[in-house]
Structure 1
Amino acid sequence: AMETRKRGFVFTRHSQATVIPACPEGTEPLYSGFSLLFVQGNEQAHGQDLGTLGSCLQRFTTMPFLFCNVDEICNFASRNDYSYWLSTPALMPMDMAPITGRALESFISRCTVCEGPAMTIAVHSQTTTIPPCPHGWVSLWKGFSFIMKTYSINCESWGVRKNNKSLSGVHEERTLKK
């Protein structure tokens, strides 16, 4: 007999390390990948919410998007644009020599996209106190708030996000409804 489960709420968890993070208890992993923060393409800034599955790409590339011209010809990884990825604690080489190819992967955070039976929310205290879950909700993990402000020539983007390791210093609690 096939087991039936109530599912369908998807979120992403980032390790900020090369280890693939586990999904919290009561949720199932869908896939693992690399933690994408932000891209700048064609002089346009595109922020990425780290809680969504779009922040976890299964393949790592420094240019993870297509550019299509007016003749509808599209090229992948073909422009001189930028991508920003959540990093690991790995130290840069002492001579600061450029890192290329697969050697870059040790500097890129890993992530897992998880699916659960209910919505997830993040509760931020804006102090050093860990906030409680709202009544009827259970904790999935505790961590620190992360906010990123970025600029490009034509627009700017805010990325507000919760992470399970300290990036900027305010506690946060991720919750799952019972």
Structure 2
Amino acid sequence: MAGPSGRRRFVLTGGVLLLLLLPFPQHTAAGAEGGGQSLSSPGSCLEDFRATPFIECNGARGTCHYFANKLSFWLSTIEQDFQFERPVSETLKAGKLRNRVSRCAVCIKDSNIGF
């Protein structure tokens, strides 16, 4: 089923689609440190795409900083005809990033339908 934006929308059998969002699995800074969300968590789905969707806040005064060296990793889309082939490396320009970020859905089970 296609939504108003032309994007495909999926509703699971026995479920209700709450949100169609963007999956954000991981981020990292300098060194081997990093963090992220489990993809099974609704917290891993963000409403809007940002190349660096985070700031770091710490200290007693709640001082917040944005660091240009932090990286974010997103799940990307792949054409159906190429899904079982080795992906070709490509560089995306700033305006084209949103076209390649995949989507995730947050659903809830309809308790009136048994499985």
Corresponding residue for residue 34 of structure 1: 22
| 8 A Cα contact 1:21 1:111, kept in partner | no
Alignment of 1:137-152 (within 5 A): none
> Between Structure 1 and Structure 2, how many residues are aligned?
98
Corresponding residue for residue 52 of structure 1: 41
Alignment of 1:77-116 (within 5 A): 78-79=66-67, 80-89=69-78, 96=91, 98-100=92-94, 102-116=95-109
The structure richer in helix per residue is 2
- Using structure 2 for the length normalisation, give the TM-score: 0.67
The structure richer in strand per residue is 1
Corresponding residue for residue 74 of structure 1: 64
Structure 1 pair 54–38 and aligned structure 2 pair: CA distance change class (3 A): same
Deviation for aligned residue 1:39:
1.2
- Using structure 1 for the length normalisation, give the TM-score: 0.46
| Cα root mean square deviation, aligned | 2.8
Deviation for aligned residue 1:62:
1.5
How far apart are the structure 1 equivalents of 2:8 and 2:29? 28
- Give 3-state SS (helix, strand or coil) of 1:33's partner: strand
Percent sequence identity over matched residues?
A: 28
- Give 3-state SS (helix, strand or coil) of 1:30's partner: strand
- Give 3-state SS (helix, strand or coil) of 2:25's partner: strand
Post-superposition Cα deviations, 1:23-45, rounded to whole Å, max 9, x if no partner, equal: 20221111111111211147531
Aligned residue type for 2:64: C
Which structure has more relative contact order (CA 8 Å, sep 6+)? It is 2
Post-superposition Cα deviations, 1:32-75, rounded to whole Å, max 9, x if no partner, equal: 11111211147531132212111211011121222114231224
| 8 A Cα contact 2:75 2:102, kept in partner | yes
Aligned residue type for 1:29: L
Gaps of at least 5 residues in structure 2 are 1-5, 80-87
Gaps of at least 5 residues in structure 1 are 1-17, 119-175
